[in-house]
Chain A
């Protein structure tokens, strides 16, 4: 078995298009579910609307890509309003059912033969991303992650550096709570979460930060086009995370969290709960639609069936793996999620190739199926044994009234 290839592919997956796409989808879900307690099971709908808003504008109405992106964002806002109006006054489970149904409606409409002239039907849309790649600053060639760009640091290095620094900041803040500038006395700190010794969680974070920094030393490389969309995709991940970070430290974020804990209490204190839920739904939905945009521009193709219900479930898995209501939860969760999937798949394929697993036991197609089973089993195990994910705090999870 070629362990080198398995690890290399794992790393590639951790920084790849899917990971960035899922990170954005999960950041949106984090705003909904992690901070506001909204059970949005229709994130796939937001992803699809992000993709199709732009795709239809460009291929059918002949607008420029940039106008198309604006259309996507506006469409996501409208979708959030349509979803929210009937459901945000109701119990959480209704929102779950209506959102999952709405996402399916969106997919069925987009893939319908009736609207094929506009949506491309089940074949989807292509040829819309030209403008994006025309302004690609990377010249043709393959790029390692350190991406020497005109002899200087490339844009991806900036993104990578920021990610790694933020992770290190978190580790230091955990080890010495309250010491860093801008850090506050947190409830976690008061609950005795500050550590003298490095714990498992800090180790994981350090390893990830190190991997992000030294990824350039590995043979993982991407083409110039892939490099360009990855730079933009991860750049968006950093920007949206920064927004989430700022917002959740503000009084606005405090209202969202209070709604998650008990919306009647928030209401009794004069907060317009429905309005805040709507803002949360819109904000997280728009982040999701950006994810959809990144994904389809990266693939240069829009496929309706890429936006099925399981996508939402996978994004939840990634979010919970990283830790809900944590700024870095969805990012790290998504990177690990895709790295694990890749390692599992490659490992199994290699084991098959090397004859450790006979073909009767596991065919090539079944490896893919096994992967989904692993996600399912993993999601169950995570929820049962480590609901706080990597970043979260078990004691905090246990405090939750509704849990």
Chain B
């Protein structure tokens, strides 16, 4: 009926949603920009993408695959594992057990949406899913499709690693996520501060940045560094265009804040499904830096970290410091804070409020795009990667104090760290629940957020 709004893992484990080129969806096809209903000049970046619409063989629908576990660079079959399949209404369709060679196949009644669930209890000792959240895969079958399903295994780390090691590892992951949330939510918070808009379409700016970078990198073949810089510029530009083309006219009309909030929800839906329409439901990796082995951080055997994660954390810190300096030290930054504090007063002291707001949108959009690239680097890019981050961004800025730049930084960072560390006690699939609960508790104790100020009535 209606697609789920997901708050799936934004965690550290890169696992492709739907594997293998044979199932490549036929979503990226030659098309002209003319039939795209709306906007954003930049969506044309996806147009003209070559996609291979492979001819489907005429056979009955089903799923197949081979369960293997990589041990010392060698694939070892995983036998005797049960996989159950249900249809979109949840009615059981059938189940299958993997054979001695780890292979399985199951015929399904026809095209449509199905969910295959691997029974974790039937896994052999010491083997676990690399990503616990991916015990269930939801997929759709087109007529005649015999679809391969991949489940990725790894060592059952939960039982192996010592608590100290896990705390350190999770702290590193948490810092990475926290920095991404902080970077993406600066714009969200400043936009709220300067215009009062609770922008539900901010996640789409993140997605946009990631997708543009992916397109430039993967399809056009520009090295990721340059593709990323271009994507950040395009993201900032598109965000500025949104302000000029949509939000500023709305502000001029005197549209109320709640009405604008609803407009942003509409925009979010429109953009998200436009991304899905153009880009397809798959997650996709960048052309470079795909799989990296973890190196021993600090040489102490404590924390494993991939080089790209190190670079990503380093870049994030640099960007955040630059943003902090911009906001506190430059004239424009001071003007931003003045507008956030009191737009009328700022206007009467000669600040061009509309220009400041435009700048906030551009900077916020560029930062969101940067965050999208970081997410794509850590995992892969997908059509709803930003939307999955949105609630965490909201949690972060609410925690930090709505409308303040530093509140967003602090709150986002705390949320990212908390989410990862909470997996020590809660199941990974519920890690976001803990973060959102903390948000509710903080609001009970300190309603204005960590760095926010209380307001006066009257």
B269 in contact with A114 (CB, 8 Å): no
Stretch at the interface among B96-104, B163-171, B270-278, B314-322: B270-278
B4 touches A369 (CB 8 A): no
A307-B272 Cα distance, complex, nearest whole Å: 18
Q: Give chain B nearest CB distance to A315 CB in angstroms.
A: 10
Q: How far is the CA of A95 from the CA of B267 in the complex (A)?
A: 21
Contacts A97-B394, A97-B395, A112-B430 known; A369 to B277 CB distance under 8 Å? yes
* Residues in chain A near residue B265, CB distance under 8 A: 313, 316, 379
A93 with B198: CB separation less than 8 A: yes
Flag if A309 contacts B5 (CB, 8 Å): yes
B90 engages A108 (CB within 8 Å)? no
Smallest CB separation, A9 vs chain B (Å) = 15
Whether, in the assembled complex, A195 has its beta carbon less than 8 Å from a beta carbon of chain B, the answer is no
Contact A94 B398, beta carbon cutoff 8 Å = yes
Q: Check A380 against B270 for contact (C-beta < 8 Å).
A: yes
Q: What's the nearest-Cβ distance from chain A to residue B299, in Å?
A: 37
Contacts of B240-278 to chain A: CB distance below 8 A: 250, 254-259, 261-263, 265-274, 276-277
A14 to B92, CA, bound (A): 30
State the CA gap A107–B433 with chains docked (Å): 10
Complex interface: chain A residues within 8 A of B91 (CB):
126, 301
A113 touches B2 (CB 8 A): no
Question: With contacts A93-B198, A377-B38 known, is A123 near B90, CB below 8 A?
Answer: yes
A383–B267 Cα gap in the complex (Å)? Answer: 11
Q: For residues 298 through 353 of chain A, which have their beta carbon under 8 Å from a beta carbon of chain B? A: 299-303, 305-311, 313-314, 316-317, 320
Which of B341-349, B364-372, B434-442 forms contacts with chain A? B434-442
Are B269 and A373 touching (Cβ within 8 A)? yes
Q: Does B330 contact A (CB under 8 A)?
A: no
A87 to B4 Cα, complex, angstroms: 25
Q: How far is the CA of A5 from the CA of B124 in the complex (A)?
A: 53
* Given A102-B440, A109-B433, A376-B273: A97 and B398 interface contact (C-beta under 8 Å): yes
A141 at the interface (CB under 8 A from B): no
Is A163 positioned at the interface, with any CB of B under 8 Å from its CB? no
Q: How far is the CA of A87 from the CA of B277 in the complex (A)?
A: 37
Interface set, chain A 84-124, CB cutoff 8 A to B: 85-87, 89-90, 92-94, 96-98, 100-102, 104-105, 107-109, 112-114, 120-124
What are the interface flags for B1-28 relative to A under an 8 Å C-beta threshold, 1 for contact and 0 otherwise? 1111111000000000000000000110
Q: How far is the CA of A393 from the CA of B450 in the complex (A)?
A: 41
Contacts known (A96-B198, A123-B115); A109 close to B430, Cβ less than 8 A: yes
Given contacts A39-B258, A372-B3, contact A87 B443 (CB under 8 A): yes
Interchain CB contact (< 8 A) of B266 among A90, A303, A380, A400: A380
**A361-B277 Cα distance, complex, nearest whole Å:** 10
Partner of B263 from the list A94, A366, A380 (CB cut-off 8 Å) is A380
- Interface residue? A387 (CB, 8 A): yes
Let me know if B324 is at the binding interface, CB within 8 A. Answer: no
The smallest beta-carbon distance between B351 and chain A, in angstroms, is 25
A113 touches B427 (CB 8 A): yes
**Does any Cβ of B come within 8 Å of A150's Cβ?**
no
Pick from B84, B259, B440: contact of A86, CB below 8 A: B440
A185 interface residue (CB < 8 Å to B): no
Question: B443 to A86, Cβ gap below 8 A?
Answer: yes
Query: Do A369 and B89 touch across chains, with their CB atoms under 8 A apart?
Result: no
Given known contacts A123-B90, A302-B90, A94 and B430 CB-to-CB distance under 8 angstroms: no
- The answer for the CA separation of A300 and B26 in the assembled complex, in Å, is 33
Contacts of A379 in B (CB 8 A): 262-263, 265-266, 269
Q: Is A303 a contact of B436 with CB atoms below 8 Å? A: no
The 8 Å CB contact of A108, one of B267, B402, B432, is B432
With a CB–CB cut-off of 8 A, which chain B residues contact A199? Answer: none
Interface string of A61-100 (1 = CB under 8 A from B): 0000000000000000000000001110110111011101
Query: Nearest Cβ distance between residue A122 and chain B, in whole angstroms?
Result: 5
Residues in A with CB closer than 8 Å to B90 are: 120, 123-126, 301-303
- Report if A250 contacts B (CB, 8 A): no
Contact (A363, B443) CB under 8 Å given A93-B402, A96-B261, A320-B262: no
Return chain A residues, CB-CB under 8 Å to B6: 305, 308
Residues of the A chain whose Cβ atoms lie less than 8 Å from the Cβ of B44: none
User: Contact between A373 and B430 (Cβ–Cβ < 8 Å)?
Assistant: no
For residue B36, give the distance in angstroms from its CB to the closest CB of chain A.
Answer: 10
Confirm or deny: A157 has a beta carbon within 8 angstroms of a beta carbon on chain B: no
Is A269 part of the binding interface, using a Cβ–Cβ cutoff of 8 Å? no
Q: Are A108 and B433 in contact (CB under 8 A)?
A: yes
Given known pairs A108-B7, A120-B90, the reply for A113 and B132 (CB within 8 Å) is yes
Tell me the minimal C-beta distance from B15 to chain A in angstroms: 16
A342 to B44, CA, bound (A): 29
Q: Is the CB of A365 within 8 A of B198?
A: no
B327 within 8 A of A: no
Is B135 an interface position by the 8 A CB rule? yes
Known: A108-B433, A313-B265, A366-B277. A101 touches B395 (CB 8 A): yes
B270 with A376: CB separation less than 8 A: yes
Q: How far is the CA of A382 from the CA of B269 in the complex (A)?
A: 14
**Cβ contacts under 8 Å, B441 to chain A:** 86
Which residues from B are CB-within-8-Å of A197? none
Q: Residue A403 contacts which of B138, B259, B436 (CB distance < 8 angstroms)?
A: B259
Q: Are the C-beta atoms of A377 and B1 separated by less than 8 Å?
A: no
If A96-B261, A123-B117, A376-B266 touch, whether A308 touches B4 (CB-CB below 8 Å) is yes
Closest CB in chain B relative to A25 CB, distance in Å: 12
B308 in the interface (beta carbon within 8 A):
no
Q: Any chain B CB within 8 A of the CB of A166?
A: no
Contacts of B1 in A (CB 8 A): 18, 306
The answer to whether A264 has its CB under 8 Å from any CB of chain B is yes
CB neighbours of B394 from chain A (8 A): 97, 100-101
Q: Is A370 close to B, CB under 8 A? A: yes
CA of A90 to CA of B401, assembled, Å: 13
- Of all chain A residues, the one with the shortest Cβ separation from B432 is A108
Judged by a CB distance under 8 angstroms, whether B136 is at the interface is yes
Shortest C-beta distance, A97 to chain B (Å), equals 5
- Distance in angstroms from B44 CB to nearest chain A CB is 15
Q: A369 contacts which chain B residues (CB < 8 A)? A: 273, 276-277
A375 interfacial by beta-carbon distance below 8 Å = yes
Q: Do A112 and B86 have beta carbons less than 8 Å apart?
A: no
State A305–B5 Cα separation when bound (angstroms).
Answer: 8
Which residues of chain B are near A372, meaning CB under 8 Å?
A: 3, 269, 272-273, 276
Instruction: Say yes or no for B301: interface residue by CB 8 A criterion.
Output: no
Is B425 in the interface zone, CB < 8 Å from A? no
Q: How far is the CA of A87 from the CA of B138 in the complex (A)?
A: 35
Q: Is the CB of B257 within 8 A of A90?
A: no
Residue of A nearest to B394 (CB): A97
**Top 10 A-B pairs ranked by shortest CB distance?**
A403-B256, A309-B5, A376-B270, A376-B269, A379-B266, A308-B4, A308-B5, A305-B4, A380-B266, A372-B273
Given contacts A316-B262, A363-B27, 15 further A-B contacts (CB under 8 A): A114-B427, A122-B115, A122-B117, A123-B115, A126-B89, A305-B6, A361-B35, A363-B26, A366-B27, A369-B276, A373-B269, A377-B270, A379-B265, A382-B266, A387-B259
What are 20 A-B contacts with C-beta separation under 8 Å?
A90-B443, A93-B192, A97-B198, A98-B398, A98-B439, A100-B391, A104-B391, A114-B430, A123-B86, A123-B90, A125-B90, A305-B4, A305-B138, A306-B1, A310-B2, A361-B31, A373-B269, A376-B272, A377-B270, A382-B266
Please list the residues of chain B having a beta carbon within 8 angstroms of any beta carbon in chain A: 1-7, 26-27, 29-31, 35, 37-38, 84, 86, 88-92, 115, 117, 120, 132, 135-136, 138, 140, 192, 198, 250, 254-259, 261-263, 265-274, 276-277, 391, 394-395, 398, 402, 427, 429-430, 432-433, 436-437, 439-441, 443-444, 447, 457-458
